[in-house]
A and B are shown apart, each in its own frame.
Chain A
Amino acid sequence: MTTLHLKFRSNFPLDTESITPDQFKDKPVSEIARLPALLGNQAGALGDFFTIMDDSSPVITLEGDLGRVKHIGAGMTEGKIVIHGNAGMHLGAGMRGGEITVHGDTGDWAGAEMTGGKIHITGNAGHGLGGAYRGSRHGMNRGLILVEGNAGNETGALMRRGLIVVLGNVADFAGAFMLAGTILVFGKLGARTGAGMKYGTIVTFHQPELLATFHYDCVYRPGFLSLLFKSLRSQGLPVEAGWAAGSFRRYSGDFNTLGKGEVLVYAQDER
């Protein structure tokens, strides 16, 4: 489709809600260049900040250090965006479909309140990954977020549906006030994991320090994880064959609320 190369890096945030396959669809480069963008409080057009080329590929490619470029792919419903470099805040926030791949790190609120599609981040993600904005009732509600590095605080906060996979560590309040969905963390979890969660599942491979309002249930083999791991393996994730047949310690919580959430901790063959 189109390649956009950032002309310069500003200390001001560049807001680009118009960078979505939906907005670019069937538009020539000249028209795409006129789509709105906001540098700080100064209104401009994409052409002011990006060198835009049409390479006839069905993918939007972004190049340069986009760490201050916000809202890339926000609200998109279809298509694909590939970012070579870091991406700023609100990447794919509220997206409903399509796919975003970031070969770098992202800022806060990546995939916040998304309702579909897939975000793949090869680096680290900031805070509020797949989470809910302040005052919102729901965070992510369907879709998949995959982070190969670490993720920040409040990952999956108020999550309603969907799957977040983090290969690295996740900071504090992962799955806080979670309503449903699944968070899978290959690394370590920070403090207050699942605080206030009503339903939903947090799966981890390292024993987290859980709140006193989580109760230990048992060691068992959750059948649905076999399906989940199989699905993730088909997407190229490093899922070990033994995990599906392995046992998990189950903790129910958070009993400060409904207590129908769960934290599953890999227990190998401990039974």
Chain B
Amino acid sequence: MGLIINGVEIEDTFAEAFKMWGTRVIITAKNRKWALQAAVTMTGFATSVIGCKCEAGIESELADTPDGRPGVSVLLFTPSRDDLSKRLIERIGQCVMTCPTTACFNGLKSNEQLKIGGQLRYFGDGYQGSKLIGGRRFWRIPVMEGEFLIEDKFGIQSSVGGGNFLILGNDLDATLEASERAVEAMKKVSGAIMPFPGGIVRSGSKVKSRYKFLIASTNDAYCPTLRGAVDSALAEGENSVLEIVIDGLDEESVVKSTRAGIRAACIPGIRRITAGNYGGNLGQFKIHLHQALREGPAL
């Protein structure tokens, strides 16, 4: 049964998502500017595990933080638990500890935890110290500016990566506007991020390529310039496609985010919304677009 929202066809298909490991990092600083700066730096070059080893994004700005200062929460995802530990140490160590006035706290309650502050503490070269406050251990690492405070352990949990949907529009302007609206709506959903630039991907990929050295290549079926040359998935008039990829701490967050994004993207100039999958043979999760839209509040 077809589903049309504001004249936009929602294809009866699903996004194929994968099991990942995720965590939430809270960064605080003297003011919003520096908290955001650290968060932007930490989530830079973290669009896809294919080339960046992790996927990360800013989840939200926070009013209530552990030390009462302006803060930002960041979500970070990796394919494995070990990777998560490595990426957190790299990114907190290089992007947050280096950023003036910041402190870094665990933002995820979980029985599974990784020792992150407990490893970064060695940067203190023996002058580091810890404090146990409210049952949580924090490391104080002396730095040139003063002291970097970081929580000993960060909670992690099995998460969902690679949720997605594709917005197919009459032209680039309409498609970009719909995508931007979708991302703005999706930012309000907690527990999920859109790791690509501004939350939007223009160069969606397919698995493999004709070149042996390349594991992923352009998604030619959705390239409008190749519509006449390949077995295209595009209909005539679908002249631009943008994709939104979603990573979430759980499947529900991805579903909620998908729902919010698709609803916001259904504006004039958009013809169709679909999702990327591999026939359901690779991913552990299937985010059915119709189901996601029907589960939420009435349209």
Of B132-140, B186-194, B278-286, the one contacting chain A is B132-140
A223 sits at the interface (CB 8 A) = yes
The reply to whether A224 and B131 contact each other, CB–CB distance below 8 Å, is yes
Of A13-21, A77-85, A204-212, A227-235, the one contacting chain B is A227-235
Cα distance A221–B103 when bound, in Å? 12
The reply to whether B140 and A226 contact each other, CB–CB distance below 8 Å, is no
**A210 CB to nearest B CB, Å:** 19
A220 sits at the interface (CB 8 A) = yes
Q: Which partner residue on chain B sits nearest A200 by CB separation?
A: B129
A199 sits at the interface (CB 8 A) = yes
A182 sits at the interface (CB 8 A) = yes
Q: Which residues of B contact A227 (CB under 8 A)?
A: 66-67, 131, 133-134, 138, 149
**B4 CB to nearest A CB, Å:** 51
A222 sits at the interface (CB 8 A) = yes
The reply to whether A228 and B140 contact each other, CB–CB distance below 8 Å, is no
Instruction: Given A231-B134, A244-B67, A244-B68, check contact A223 B140 (CB 8 Å).
Output: yes
The reply to whether B133 and A142 contact each other, CB–CB distance below 8 Å, is no
Q: Which partner residue on chain A sits nearest B134 by CB separation?
A: A231
The reply to whether B129 and A199 contact each other, CB–CB distance below 8 Å, is yes
**A2 CB to nearest B CB, Å:** 29
Q: Which of B102-147 contact A (CB under 8 A)?
A: 103, 127, 129, 131-134, 138, 140, 146-147
B91 sits at the interface (CB 8 A) = no
The reply to whether B146 and A224 contact each other, CB–CB distance below 8 Å, is no
Cα distance A239–B67 when bound, in Å? 14
Cα distance A199–B147 when bound, in Å? 16
The reply to whether B133 and A231 contact each other, CB–CB distance below 8 Å, is yes
Q: Which residues of A contact B103 (CB under 8 A)?
A: 223
B69 sits at the interface (CB 8 A) = yes
The reply to whether B140 and A222 contact each other, CB–CB distance below 8 Å, is yes
The reply to whether B133 and A228 contact each other, CB–CB distance below 8 Å, is yes
Cα distance A181–B264 when bound, in Å? 52
The reply to whether A142 and B132 contact each other, CB–CB distance below 8 Å, is yes
Cα distance A72–B68 when bound, in Å? 38
Flag A171-188 by CB within 8 Å of B: 1 or 0 each.
Answer: 000000000001000000
Complex partner residue of B68 from A142, A222, A230, CB under 8 angstroms: A230
Q: Which residues of A contact B133 (CB under 8 A)?
A: 163, 224, 227-228, 231
Cα distance A270–B140 when bound, in Å? 22
The reply to whether B67 and A201 contact each other, CB–CB distance below 8 Å, is no
The reply to whether A226 and B68 contact each other, CB–CB distance below 8 Å, is yes
Interface size class of B (residues with CB under 8 A): 10 to 19
Task: Find the residue from B66, B67, B131, B134 having the highest chain A CB count within 10 A.
Answer: B131
Task: Find the residue from B67, B127, B138, B148 having the highest chain A CB count within 10 A.
Answer: B67
Instruction: Given A221-B146, A223-B147, A244-B67, check contact A228 B131 (CB 8 Å).
Output: yes
Cα distance A52–B37 when bound, in Å? 63
Cα distance A199–B68 when bound, in Å? 27
Cα distance A233–B39 when bound, in Å? 29
Complex partner residue of B147 from A142, A220, A228, A231, CB under 8 angstroms: A220
Q: Which of B198-242 contact A (CB under 8 A)?
A: none
Q: Which residues of B contact A223 (CB under 8 A)?
A: 67, 103, 140, 146-149
A161 sits at the interface (CB 8 A) = yes
A120 sits at the interface (CB 8 A) = no
**A261 CB to nearest B CB, Å:** 9
Flag A151-184 by CB within 8 Å of B: 1 or 0 each.
Answer: 0000000000111000000000000000000100
A192 sits at the interface (CB 8 A) = no
A260 sits at the interface (CB 8 A) = yes
Complex partner residue of B127 from A228, A244, A260, CB under 8 angstroms: A260
**B66 CB to nearest A CB, Å:** 6
Cα distance A227–B129 when bound, in Å? 15
Given A182-B131, A227-B67, A260-B129, 11 further pairs, Cβ under 8 A: A163-B133, A199-B129, A220-B146, A221-B146, A222-B140, A222-B146, A224-B138, A227-B133, A227-B149, A228-B131, A231-B134
Which residues of B come within 8 Å of A, CB atoms? Answer: 66-69, 103, 127, 129, 131-134, 138, 140, 146-149
Across the A-B interface, give the 3 residue pairs with the lowest CB-CB distance, nearest first. A223-B149, A226-B67, A220-B146
24 residue pairs of the A-B complex, CB under 8 angstroms, read A142-B132, A163-B133, A182-B131, A199-B129, A220-B147, A221-B146, A223-B103, A223-B140, A223-B146, A223-B147, A223-B148, A224-B131, A224-B149, A227-B67, A227-B133, A227-B138, A228-B131, A230-B66, A230-B67, A231-B134, A244-B67, A244-B68, A260-B127, A260-B129
Which residues of A come within 8 Å of B, CB atoms? Answer: 142, 161-163, 182, 199, 201, 220-224, 226-228, 230-231, 244, 260
